[in-house]
Structure 1
Amino acid sequence: MIAARASLLSLSLVIVAPLTTAALAEEAENVATVHGLSLYDDPALPADFTHFPYVNPEAPKGGRLVRSAIGSFDTTNPFIIRGTPATGLAQIYDTLMVSNPDEPFSMYGLLAEGIRLAPDRQWIEFDLHPEARFHDGEPVTAEDVVFSFETLRDEGQPFYGAYYADVTSVQVLDEDTVRFEFAENNSRELPLIIGQLPVLPAHFWADREFTAPTLEPLLGSGPYRIAAVEPSRRIVYQRVDDYWGKDLPVNRGRYNIDRLIFDYYRDQTVALEAFKAGNLDMRIESSARQWATAYDFPAANEGFVKRLSVPDGQPAGMQAYVMNLRRDKFRDARVREAINLAFDFDWLNDNLFYGAYQRTHSFFENSDMAAQGMPSEAELAILEPFRDELPARVFEEPLPIEQPEDMRARLAKALELFRDAGYEVRDGVLIDSRTGRPFTLEVLLFDTQFERVVQPLLRNLSRLGVQGSIRTVDVNQYLNRLRSFDFDMIVGSFPQSANPGNEQREYWTSEYADSPQSRNLIGLSNPVIDALVERLIRAESREQLDTAARALDRVLRWGFYVIPQWFLGETRIALWDKFAYPQPFPEYNLDLDAWWVDPERDTAITNRQRR
């Protein structure tokens, strides 16, 4: 993650003079040391909890889990801009705190044995477990925490700069204590965000370049280590038998499977056949058609393969066709609205998706943060200062946006919008009357499975004279084009948690519009949206957060920046029936780390596959 710089580390150490350390200690003296934090109230689990309530603390260890990854990889460093990282690398790193998948807004100490948060949330201190160790036996220290934060912020992906923007300083107080100080108007969530910091070994990176891709098995302190790397083919993780944190309450009953293996395949079709042949143990199915039709094969009919649908307790977020505003042709909102009108979700759902999906409307779909109807008084209080800079429709028309049901009427409306924007149809081709150039649109993909979904959209657009095409490339080329924003339209996603916060900067704000590999895929650079994002981040209550999210959602939706697609509200899992798992599932997140291999069923399946 971070190429070590001795200067960074030494700087962090000399910042804290003895007098400053004493003053900080006095300030923290009256602040209680706690085992966890919650966003608004106290965490649900007491200080003496022994394990997360949903896990099986007696789950057996052993076995392996083989899953697929699509494409290829060329680095084991997931934190930098360069390279395509292997799947699963988070398993080798510990963080300061960890979420409970059965709670929406709480985190508990992992590397942090104790936590002190200022009453005004202006600073936080972490006491590290003295026994915390990296896989080479070296202790995890406060210096490693400072090194990790500064390196990720300064040399990592743009995401980290956005996430940590309101941290004003980080200081080593002693070998096992680190302190973060925050800007005056920091977000309420920021202390929990800092708790998610992956801690990297400063000594390991001291003679390595952090920003260069590598295939070296990198060093961490987590429950797994990298056991084998076969570039573009396979990566294997081995459970660490002497993992320092295996008996912590947040880990007991978790990380039960000995080997986690990710085999790489060209596309999902090949991966599905590998699963049916028994070469893969589990598959998270993204295709409604495959879920409905592809699991009628001997092993499934004999009961050796089963399927699960696990409810998703998080907001659905936004999956969409994303238009690139860095292209001049998409800068007119009338053009973007016209393209939206050509999307026929109902036809897709009836003819390709077996009626499995619901239409997405909101960037915070399936949550109380989704804007509905006309703006409330609380929303208007946020939006009114920007009335002159926003479309009148934000204030005058309700959500969801109404569209004619009949496709002919929708395309007629789309053509009218194109004409208002300066286009005309000549000999069946939509032409920019100012330049004489035809309107072309290329959808960039990396998975052939999605081509059949894109084609109906392009077919409808062709009726308007748009010259549309699909370009399907390998994953590495796709990522390279994504990093440089070299696309007209892609299928992108903006996932959301139950508590959106600092990550919204990277999704929507001007600072990240031209930052390579940022998640501002649209290329948004709008001062009003920037201000709305900051309002959301700095919300002081759940009510304020919901209202700020609805105001932002309303403005984004009336911008027609994306064509919203669909959501399911559950995770579809197909698996060879050798796994056991706690039930009921945790409410807010699927936790595969709490699963284990059942030895008897594993033997039965192995014998069946050897026939």
Structure 2
Amino acid sequence: MLTVLRRGCLSLIILAFSNSLLAQGQHAMTLYDEAPKYPSDFTHFDYTNPDAPKGGTLRLAGLNGFDSLNPFIPKGNAADQIGLLYDTLTYHSADEPFTEYGLLAERIEKAADNSYVRFYLNPKARFNDGQPVTAEDVQFTFNTLVEKGHPLYRHYYADVADVVVESPLQVRFDFKHTENRELPLILGQLQILPKHWWAERDFTKTSLEPPLGSGPYQLSRVDAGRSLRYERVKDWWAQDLPVARGQYNFDNIHIDYYRDMSVALEAFKAGQFDFNLEYSAKDWATGYNSPALRNGQIIKKEIKNHNPVGMQGFTFNLRKDLFKDQRVRQAIALLFDFEWTNKQLFYSSYIRTPSFFANSELAAQGLPSAAELEILEPLRGSIPEEVFTQVYAPPVSDSSGIIRERRLEAWRLLQDAGYRIENDRMVNADGEPLAFEFIIAQANLERVLLPFKRNLEELGIEMTIRRADVSQYINRMRSRDFEMTSSIWPQSNSPGNEQRDFWHSSSVDNPGSRNFIGLQDPAIDSLVEGLINAPDRATLINYARALDRVLLWGHYVIPNYYIDTWRTAYWQHLAQPEIAPLYDYGLMTWWVKPDAAQPPAATDE
């Protein structure tokens, strides 16, 4: 008994000592309280060059213009790179999946029971007008985003009960429950707004007035819809912090806007801008052929992407009666011939997306494991039975363009759903044709859709491709005024609160949420909540895989394709560190070589 008592006392002493350390705050926080990669006395990230020279101008391209400098509201089309104006409470390391280090907050304290997180602000932190960053600014930012910002914030921060200003440099976020382990990290990503600056402005309106932040850059010039120019803040308060050393090396970042990617590519080859992240397989294979590429002035480089790629797919809007029947959605999906498309249009460079968490351990694999079945069994009868009995895989063709068997299978599914062929058109029991509109904003997607359209027509299904301008497209997405479209749901190595915005019933009627599908399913809601509240990594993985299976077998999207690299092209006067981060291509760690020749069209305006 004495030995047991001694052990108990020792445990209490250790626990008290551990809580004392937590109360002093940490320089970093991790999702499951594992040790961060970098110790408290680290000087810079491994993927940065602390001696990188400052100077020069980085010229980038934007697409389709902009009409707002307020990215926090569901109005307008915000300018590119606008996040450079703002600092966050913490900085996410690009070579760790779940670790954040102090930025505006020099120390972070997480409650041992995950009931709150406290941030101790750096007394040196300043907005770029010289005013200090205070706990009141943090409180103001949170409340403003939740009350007046994009609907995403209300879902993202739904588990926060209160924000308490404890002192001018100390702020505490109290949580509604203790199960959401990701919430402290999410709050660390808050881009802090200046309360004094917004006191005289309407946060709910779009504006082209350069906003005030505390970040490494400020806007020096804005030409509405056409270009903008960021200027490095020479006395940025955080420039010597370990998280910033070796980053933000360009004196200026200039962005010109182009009407589409094809025009932008020609401008890049002519030396009109310096760096291009390529999304088109065709352009990557053939579009860069030029004297500048052949003589080494332009460099093409693929950088390995270790991030989950999420899902890109042709999206059914379940709010439309046409797509409420799963058999109809599945039949239409059978007529998209990825293998032919990949061979003929993409130079066989893409991988078919098999999961909503593709390129990660979160993706469903094989049949459900015992741990997944514990999650799924209570939902049996309210989720597709195939979840339990079959391994999901998108249909595969021989790339010849002949998909006769799949067309027959689609026809059988449509017959089961009450459709028939009448005058070469697929019609339902009331004689209404199976016809829908596919809305796009980018012209290059049309060449992917046209072969799909032909396959549909062979079965009497009519798909109209409607190209809208960007503002019209955004408005129609927000108002859910579409039948089909192309959507992307990005994922991280640590999915969490954003899943509510993607799939949860609470987001279905919110304009601006990413619940494009129109999902309103209690079974999916329970999987989303279980994922968000997972107490450890293993449980998170099991919930992600279970959710993945249910989404896949619901046939809510037609999965598209992905690559597991970033395709970068840049002019040779740019340099980058020897080590690339695992989870980014790290453009803000690059710099201009001091003595390198500039592109022919370069001007330092």
User: What TM-score results when the alignment is normalised by the length of structure 2?
Assistant: 0.94
Letter aligned with residue 484 of structure 2: M
For residues 395-410 of structure 1, what are the structure 2 equivalents within 5 Å? Answer: 395-400=388-393, 407-410=403-406
- Asked whether the equivalents of residues 134 and 140 of structure 1 are also in contact (C-alpha less than 8 Å), the reply is yes
Percent identity of equivalent pairs: 48
CA distance in 1, matches of 2:565, 2:25: 38
Letter aligned with residue 45 of structure 1: Y
Task: Please state whether the residue corresponding to 1:437 is helix, strand or coil.
Answer: coil
2:27 — aligned with what?
35
1:561 aligns to 2:553 (yes or no) = no
CA distance in 1, matches of 2:436, 2:376: 33
1:357 — aligned with what?
350
Offset, 1:277: 1.1
Deviations 1:152-194 (A, max 9, x none): 1111111111110101110100000000011224311111000
CA distance in 1, matches of 2:318, 2:593: 51
Q: Which of 316, 325, 336 matches 2:329?
A: 336
Identify if the C-alpha distance between structure 1 residues 281 and 403 changes in structure 2 by more than 3 Å, giving closer, same or farther.
Answer: closer
Deviations 1:314-341 (A, max 9, x none): 0111111111111110111001100110
1:461 — aligned with what?
456
Offset, 1:513: 0.8
2:542 — aligned with what?
547
CA distance in 1, matches of 2:534, 2:384: 25
For residues 338-487 of structure 1, what are the structure 2 equivalents within 5 Å? Answer: 338-400=331-393, 407-434=403-430, 436-487=431-482
More divergent stretch after superposition (282-291 vs 403-412): 403-412
1:82 aligns to 2:75 (yes or no) = yes
For residues 140-179 of structure 1, what are the structure 2 equivalents within 5 Å? Answer: 140-179=133-172
2:105 — aligned with what?
112
Deviations 1:67-117 (A, max 9, x none): 111112111000001111111100000000011101111000000011111
2:9 — aligned with what?
none
- Asked whether the equivalents of residues 306 and 359 of structure 2 are also in contact (C-alpha less than 8 Å), the reply is no
1:190 — aligned with what?
183
Identify if the C-alpha distance between structure 1 residues 28 and 195 changes in structure 2 by more than 3 Å, giving closer, same or farther.
Answer: farther
2:13 — aligned with what?
none
- Asked whether the equivalents of residues 403 and 410 of structure 1 are also in contact (C-alpha less than 8 Å), the reply is no
Letter aligned with residue 590 of structure 1: Y
CA distance in 1, matches of 2:441, 2:590: 31
Letter aligned with residue 127 of structure 2: F
Unaligned runs of 5+ in 2: 1-18
Offset, 1:400: 2.4
1:325 aligns to 2:339 (yes or no) = no
Letter aligned with residue 159 of structure 1: L
RMSD of equivalent CA atoms: 1.6
Task: Please state whether the residue corresponding to 1:251 is helix, strand or coil.
Answer: coil
2:514 — aligned with what?
519
Q: Which of 587, 591, 601 matches 2:586?
A: 591
CA distance in 1, matches of 2:602, 2:321: 59
2:525 — aligned with what?
530
- Asked whether the equivalents of residues 363 and 545 of structure 2 are also in contact (C-alpha less than 8 Å), the reply is yes
CA distance in 2, matches of 1:513, 1:196: 25
Q: Which of 46, 57, 60 matches 2:50?
A: 57
CA distance in 2, matches of 1:276, 1:53: 32
CA distance in 2, matches of 1:541, 1:304: 49
Deviations 1:28-49 (A, max 9, x none): 8962311000112021110011
CA distance in 2, matches of 1:417, 1:404: 19
Offset, 1:608: 9.4
1:243 — aligned with what?
236
CA distance in 1, matches of 2:153, 2:211: 20
1:97 — aligned with what?
90
CA distance in 2, matches of 1:390, 1:468: 29
Offset, 1:304: 0.7
Deviations 1:452-506 (A, max 9, x none): 0111111111111111111112111111111111111111101111110110000
Task: Please state whether the residue corresponding to 1:339 is helix, strand or coil.
Answer: helix
Offset, 1:286: 0.5
Letter aligned with residue 452 of structure 1: R
Offset, 1:600: 1.4
CA distance in 2, matches of 1:49, 1:164: 31
Number of residues paired by the alignment? 582
Q: Which of 186, 194, 208 matches 1:215?
A: 208
Offset, 1:403: 5.8
1:288 — aligned with what?
281
CA distance in 1, matches of 2:560, 2:489: 12
Offset, 1:398: 1.9
Identify if the C-alpha distance between structure 1 residues 428 and 185 changes in structure 2 by more than 3 Å, giving closer, same or farther.
Answer: farther
Deviations 1:535-570 (A, max 9, x none): 001111111111000000000000000000001000
Task: Please state whether the residue corresponding to 2:558 is helix, strand or coil.
Answer: strand
Identify if the C-alpha distance between structure 1 residues 391 and 475 changes in structure 2 by more than 3 Å, giving closer, same or farther.
Answer: same
Letter aligned with residue 461 of structure 1: L
1:271 — aligned with what?
264
Deviations 1:192-216 (A, max 9, x none): 0000011000011101110100000
Unaligned runs of 5+ in 1: 1-26
- Asked whether the equivalents of residues 342 and 460 of structure 1 are also in contact (C-alpha less than 8 Å), the reply is yes
Task: Please state whether the residue corresponding to 2:23 is helix, strand or coil.
Answer: coil
- Asked whether the equivalents of residues 272 and 602 of structure 2 are also in contact (C-alpha less than 8 Å), the reply is no
CA distance in 1, matches of 2:472, 2:146: 26
Letter aligned with residue 469 of structure 1: T
Identify if the C-alpha distance between structure 1 residues 421 and 403 changes in structure 2 by more than 3 Å, giving closer, same or farther.
Answer: farther
User: What TM-score results when the alignment is normalised by the length of structure 1?
Assistant: 0.93
Offset, 1:404: 6.8
